[in-house]
Amino acid sequence: MPRPEHLERIVLTVPATALEAFEAALGCCCRTVGFFLNEATNTWVVEGLREIDGSDGDLVTALILAEAASGITPEIERIRVPAGGWLARSYQGFPEQKIGDRFAIRGTHIKDKKPAGRHSITVDAGLAFGTGEHGSTRGCLLALEMMAKRRRPLNILDLGTGSGVLGIAGVKIWGRPVLATDIDARAVRVATANAALNGTARLFRARRADGWLSPVLRRHAPYDLVFANILARPLTAMAHQLAAKLAPGGIAILAGLLDRQARWVLSAHRRHGLVLKSRIDDGEWTTLILEKPMRAPAMGAPSMPTTAKTRIDPPFA
């Protein structure tokens, strides 16, 4: 894939209530999206990087929708940056990430010998989103590591695959086929390229799909394991579909949610019969590991409290 000479950096500042809307907006039309908290002002800075192609239609439409959803109209800064300089900074800021006891995420620019005893996953730092340094990606990989000690799922779905890291990790751990889907066609291309880069292309199938509405997801259900590293709002909206498409005894690993959103997401899934098995907190980010019971719980049966805040509480059965 040829590198563009210049890229455009989109920067905007929003309150916490509008973070999700504007992150999703930039995610629709930017190569990478990141955000961080400005503690001095208690606001979030959202940044996206996009190729300059002469058309602003997708960006303008996405921002209008985000403004309508959030009621916020932020000032937008657009900065033209040399692609080469940005890539150099990306490489410098993307060292090898060792996660848990089993995984190492590394960029194509790292030429050192791969660490022994770990599943190394290589991604292009110039294209990657979901490279391991984000708390939601780390949380999912830690959850996968915990699950791998006790279970061997046969039918795996990586919903909202992004860079493909989670699906690739599933192939490396279990040697089983993984269906990876994303609403963004660019993400599907990146995930496919990363799967080939990691020697997992034979078992990694990336498809463009609009969540559970896609026939390909319904056709391959039910799933023994579902990764869903997306956002709190769509996770909540799709709780009933996830519960219906998860096999009895199946596990769902949900991420992409802030700590303050975890109770909301958990409550939505509990209403459809899923049970909290464990919770991983990484800074402000939370990963939930849920299970679909083999049998529906009896009416009035007690459920696990929502206040569990430990890294492994309770362990997998």
Tens-place pLDDT, residues 159-174: 999 889 999 999 999 9
Where are the strands (E) in the chain, listed by range?
6-14, 32-38, 43-51, 76-82, 97-99, 103-107, 119-123, 156-159, 178-182, 204-208, 223-229, 246-258, 275-282, 285-291
134/185 Cα distance (integer angstroms):
22
Average pLDDT over residues 261-267: 94
The predicted model gives 10-37 an average pLDDT of 84
* Domain definitions of the chain by residue range: 6-91, 132-291
What's the pLDDT tens digit per position in 224-251? 999 999 888 889 999 999 999 999 999 9
**Whether pLDDT at 130 is above 80:** no
Q: What is the pTM of this model?
A: 0.70
Q: pLDDT tens digits for 273-299? A: 999 999 999 888 899 999 999 875 554
| 61-98 residue pLDDT tens | 999 999 999 999 999 999 887 655 544 555 454 567 78
Query: Is pLDDT at 305 greater than 50 in this prediction?
Result: no
CA 309, 224, 147 angle in degrees (round to 5)?
40
Is the distance from CB of 278 to CB of 307 less than 8 angstroms? no
Provide, rounded to the nearest whole percent, the portion of the chain with pLDDT above 70. 80
Q: Average pLDDT for residues 114-129, to the nearest whole number?
A: 70
Q: How far does CA 87 lie from the centroid of its chain?
A: 22
Q: Provide mean pLDDT across the span 41-51.
A: 84
Residue 311 has pLDDT above 60, yes or no: no
Q: Is the pLDDT of residue 131 over 70?
A: no
CATH number for the domain formed by residue range(s) 6-91: 3.30.70.1710
- Token pair 């799967």 is found at 195
CATH of domain 132-291: 3.40.50.150
Strands 275-282 and 285-291: antiparallel
Helix 165-174 to helix 135-148 angle, to the nearest 10 degrees?
Answer: 20
The reported pLDDT for the residue numbered 148 is: 86
All residues at 6 or more sequence positions from 136 whose CB lies less than 8 Å from its CB, including other chains: 229, 255, 256, 257, 282, 285, 287
Mean pLDDT, rounded, of the chain: 81
pLDDT band, very low/low/confident/very high, at 28 (cuts 50, 70, 90): confident
Which among 163, 176, 169 has a CA at the least distance from the CA of 223? 176
Which amino acid is residue 301, in one-letter code?
A: A
Residue 301 has pLDDT above 50, yes or no: no
Give the confidence band of 127 by pLDDT, cuts at 50, 70, 90: very low
